[in-house]
Amino acid sequence: MHAFLLTREWRDGPHSGLLQMWCWTADGPLSIRITNAKAICFASREERLPDGTYERRPVALTSPLGAPVDALYFPTQRALNDFRERCNVAKVRLFESDVRAADRYLMERFIQGGLEVQGQVTQKQGYGEIVNPKLRACAITPRLKAVSLDIETDGFEGALYSIALAMDGEERVLMRSEFPVQAPGVAVECLPDERQLLLRLCTWFAEFDPDVIIGWNLIGFDLTALERRFAQHGLPFTIGRAQGRARVVQGSRGQPPLALVPGRVAIDGIESLRAAFWIFEDYALDAVARELLGRGKLIEDGEDRLAAIQQRYTNDRAALARYNIEDCRLVAEIIEHTGLIRMGVERASLTGLALGRLGGSVACLDNLYLPRLHRRGRVAYDIGSANTSSASSPGGHVLDSSPGIYDHVVLLDFKSLYPSIIRTFRIDPLGLWEPGDEPIEGFLGAQFAREGAILPDLIDALWAARDEAKKERNGPLSQAIKIIMNAFYGVLGATGCRFFDPRLASSITRRGHEVLKRSKDFIEAAGFAVIYGDTDSLFVHLSAATGDDDARRQGQRLARALNDWWQTIIAEEHNLKSALEVEFETHFTRFLMPTLRGSDQGSKKRYAGIANDGKGSTSMVFKGLESVRTDWTPLARNFQRELYRRVFAQEPFEEWVESTVAKLYAGALDHELIYRKRLRRDVDEYAANVPPQVQAARRGGQSNGWVKYVITLAGPRLVTDIDAPLDYEHYKEKQIAPVADGVLQFLDTSFARLTDRQLAIF
């Protein structure tokens, strides 16, 4: 039988542990119970150990430094944890004692997403169960059923009004109502009180049995609020399979909360989009839905949403039901549109991380690296015990920029530079421990083995899988692999990784510095000007280009020449084959490299240009400038986009600038003068240097969250609390002038020069 792993949980009993796994199969859900697994760690064979409940056995493994080790087998995770504490007190070093028993059981069998199960299945009510089967990894693509869940309440701490549920073939709103509610197009099931509403939710899950629960702020709000309401009524929160109890575990160190629902995966739309590097100005459901789907929530963003929900529950419950189910539909369509579930399945299959788990780069490396390390005869350190060096590795190298407006600039980009460096120079923890003969020189004294490295081979396999995914136009898989590969460098440079060593991370980043600098030298020796560079990208001015087609040809030739040069250099200097790959990424027909404000020095990580795709289409690109920053007003952002468009297109702009200022003072642009900023703390926590958004919120009675405000002649005011004329001079000098001068300085004029003649009028 082939299955796909949904959830795993280790539970300690009095004398033994139980690994409970729930899986998807084509024949329905499957419960796998492992009663004979052990919690395992390692200790030096020469080490004298404290007493404990464990069995000690010699194994054919050594420590990172080559000393023989024994394996210690514990009946429960708790027994291992207690033993580790005693070893900490006794200053006894253990190896891999912080690897959780459930994770170790799966990783040592190379089980990531799919698994082949051999054993006798017992049919239970609604699922199959198998105890202590034989398991091995396999490839499988599950067809998961997902339910979109959304609740409406009387505030975060208040009572439930309704629960909407939407999945293929089933849409329903469960509503607390003492009378029937008719809402055309919506199936509304009314329950007399909140207790009955909660009980009905549990029976719904048992009846329709989804594999995945999706929602917007699903864990932080919906499931947390439901858990609280179940507890309020003394009811078990049994929405898991086989009446398993769900619970929400609050995240630590800034991590989001985690929902544990036996047999079901909880996926939060907001956090999943962020983890997949989807970028939105506002992650509110209404904003994301309007951007991706072209429609939004049925209560407008500007309304007092809680008051509107309360009003609908009191006076128009059919409208509340429509609002509730529409939120579910929006979430389901966004998840489908972005491929988040599919990407999660691909990521779990590649890494062994639990489906729905966000982040987890350290665990990902553990899952992939440790079982391969063991088969090479080594064990790894506990996290935090490998290297106590205070040395740090530098970030990506940023070249000085040459400010100005240019025709024909090409962007050359090193494809996945850091993974390419790992592949090329064989950067690897095991290779660092065993450099062997004729090692490859790294940085900070590092030396790496030419043969037998684990990490470069892992990246080779992922790289090939990504190329295949691109060929098959499998966007979710390609994105999942890219995220994994790019995370490896960051993990090696993090003290929370068991393989942390400054020599590893520095051998990546410092090599990246060398690659960028030497590539710049090569390009300039070829007669081109490099006007900017950042980490893995170089911006090259093709001053001799005769047109767009010629510029593209020159850029492509330059990329090929640079690739060939690196192949030769790395072979000659290191006797290695280069995996570095330079791509011709973008041709800018017009390009602006700005200065730092108030300076003639070139800025960094900020530019704008007209990108030409070579097929007749162009687009404006802004990086780091006001038009892509949400802390600037729509006035500044719209003004910058249009001014730069005119400048790049070499259209007249002087009269347009003057007319924009005239419209500002005439009040025609008032709708573009709203600032939008978020309060990270309660307004009462701001004592000194109180920013304008806090001043506006404090005066208007808002304590936290997103603040929409304007600047008036009387000071900052919420948009709902304007009691004085708008301060147009503020917007002219603080929003328009800086944006204008960022480009006008290169055209021998200035904003002041264009607008001085209007001063007498206003």
Tokens in use for 67? 């000393």
Which residues is 584 bridged to in the sheet?
412
Q: Give residue 300's pLDDT.
A: 66
- What is the arithmetic mean of pLDDT over 123-146? 96
pLDDT at 631: 84
**Banded model confidence at residue 356, pLDDT cuts 50, 70, 90:** confident
Task: Give residue 504's region: left, alpha or beta (phi > 0; psi -120 to 50).
Answer: alpha
Closest CA to 498 of 620, 380, 608, 390: 380
Averaged confidence pLDDT in the chain: 93
Other CB atoms within 10 Å distance of the CB of residue 690: 12
For residues 77 and 12, is the Cβ–Cβ distance under 8 A? yes
pLDDT over 80 (residue 482)? yes
Q: Which residue has the higher pLDDT, 152 or 629?
A: 152
Four-CA torsion 679, 682, 687, 693, nearest 10 degrees: 30
**Which is it for strands 582-593 and 607-612: parallel, antiparallel or unpaired?**
antiparallel
For residue 647, the 8-state DSSP code is H
Nearest-angstrom CA–CA distance, 669 and 590: 29
Radius of gyration of the chain (CA): 30
How far is Cα 21 from Cα 262, in angstroms, rounded to an integer? 8
Condensed to tens digits (0 to 9), the pLDDT of residues 171-196 reads 999 999 999 999 999 999 999 999 99
Q: What is the pLDDT of residue 387?
A: 62
- Give the pLDDT score at 702: 86
Q: Are 536 and 413 in contact (CB under 8 A)?
A: yes
Q: Long-range contact list for 467-476, CB < 8 A, 24+ apart?
A: 474/346, 475/339, 476/339, 476/340, 476/342, 476/343, 476/346
Burial of 471 (0-12, 13-18, 19+ CB in 10 A): exposed
Which residues, listed in sequence order, are joined to residue 608 by a DSSP beta bridge?
592, 622
Please tell me which residue, 371 or 680, carries the higher pLDDT value: 371
Spatial contact of 623 and 608, defined as CB atoms under 8 Å apart:
yes
Range scoring the smallest mean pLDDT among 129-138, 144-153, 244-253: 244-253
Amino acid letter for position 224:
T
**Cβ(350)–Cβ(487) under 8 Å?**
no
Residues 6+ apart with CB under 8 A from 39: 17, 73, 74, 75, 76, 77, 79, 80, 101, 104
| Cα–Cα distance measured from residue 194 to residue 229, given in angstroms and rounded to the nearest whole number | 9
Cα–Cα distance measured from residue 462 to residue 458, given in angstroms and rounded to the nearest whole number: 6
CA dihedral for 548, 551, 553, 559, sign (positive or negative): negative
Q: What pLDDT digit, counting tens, does each position of 705-728 carry?
A: 789 999 999 999 999 899 999 999
How many whole angstroms separate alpha carbon 499 and alpha carbon 351? Answer: 17
Q: From CA 589, how far away is CA 648, in angstroms rounded?
A: 9
**Where do we find the tokens 């049919």?**
123
Secondary structure letter of residue 400 according to DSSP: P
Lowest mean pLDDT among 209-223, 424-438, 475-489, 638-652: 475-489
Determine the average pLDDT of the residues in 580-607. 92
Residues 389-429 have pLDDT tens digits of: 656 678 888 999 999 999 999 999 999 999 999 999 999 99
| Length in residues, the chain | 762
Report residue 256's pLDDT band, with 50, 70 and 90 as the boundaries: confident
For residues 263 and 257, what is the distance between their CA atoms, to the nearest angstrom? 18
* Whether the Cβ atoms of residue 31 and residue 263 lie closer than 8 Å to each other: yes
Residue 599's identity, in one-letter code, is S
3-state secondary structure of 329: helix
So what's the pLDDT on residue 390? Answer: 59
Does the global pTM surpass 0.75? Answer: yes
pLDDT in tens, 62-72: 999 999 999 99
Contact (Cβ atoms closer than 8 angstroms) between residue 663 and residue 656 = no
pLDDT by residue (tens digit) across 234-251? Answer: 999 999 999 999 999 987
- Mapped onto helix, strand or coil, the DSSP state of residue 487 is helix
What spatial distance separates the first Cα and last Cα of the chain, rounded to whole Å?
80
The reported pLDDT for the residue numbered 253 is 66
What is the pLDDT averaged over residues 685-696?
88
CA 382 to CA 359: how far, in whole Å?
Answer: 20
Percent of the chain with pLDDT over 90: 79
Residue 673 has pLDDT above 60, yes or no: yes
* Tokens coding 667: 């009040």
Euclidean distance between CA atoms 472 and 178, whole angstroms: 54
pLDDT higher than threshold 90 for residue 685: no
Count of Cβ atoms closer than 10 Å to residue 294 Cβ: 7
Tens digit of each residue's pLDDT (9 = 90 or more) over 18-72? 999 999 999 999 999 999 899 999 999 999 999 999 999 999 999 999 999 999 9
Can you tell me the mean pLDDT for 454-480? 89
Domains of the chain (ranges, CATH numbers): 2-141 (2.40.50.590), 146-351 (3.30.420.10), 383-454+490-610 (3.90.1600.10), 630-758 (1.10.132.60)
